[in-house]
Amino acid sequence: MVRKATEKDLPEILEIFNYHIEHTTVIYHYQKRTSAQMMSWLKEKKQLNFPVLVTEENGKVTGFGTFGQFRPHEAYQFCVEHSVYVSPDHQGKGFGKQLILDLIDIAKKENYHNMVAGIDAENKFSIEFHQKLGFQEVGYLKEVGFKFNRWLDLVFLQLDL
């Protein structure tokens, strides 16, 4: 089930987000987020009319996804970049796909022109997953991230909406 996130979901969203900060290169942050930071993040998303969705199973949040403007300049107003995170216990069960498909549907209804994904180059599963959904690789940035004492390459994929 996919639904809009509420403030009640923030502890579980925070747990998923912080897991990926601490253990993966899915996100290039170093420091775990706090409850206050996530509350501010959710409020900002709502103020800017960007969706925050969650999937759940048996009443527990299994993943979340959102999108926001690709870059903060006016000319980018029709391009969004999405993020989807799934709990490590629920990966490979279709929750990420549900989230992305719903985000794509929302972006189309809101007349965005395209959607971008920035993915760590070593995350072959996510790259192939996005390609199966119609995203095309449009850029490869070498050694732009540094995490876990190593340089990381970033792949950009784009979906024309």
**Domains along the chain?**
2-160 (3.40.630.30)
pLDDT digits (tens, 9 = 90+) for 23-56: 999 999 999 999 999 999 999 999 999 999 999 9
* Amino acid 147: pLDDT: 98
Which pLDDT band, with edges at 50, 70 and 90, does 134 fall under? very high
Name the percent of the chain lying above pLDDT 90: 99
3-class DSSP assignment, residue 1: coil
Residues 101-128 have a mean pLDDT of 97
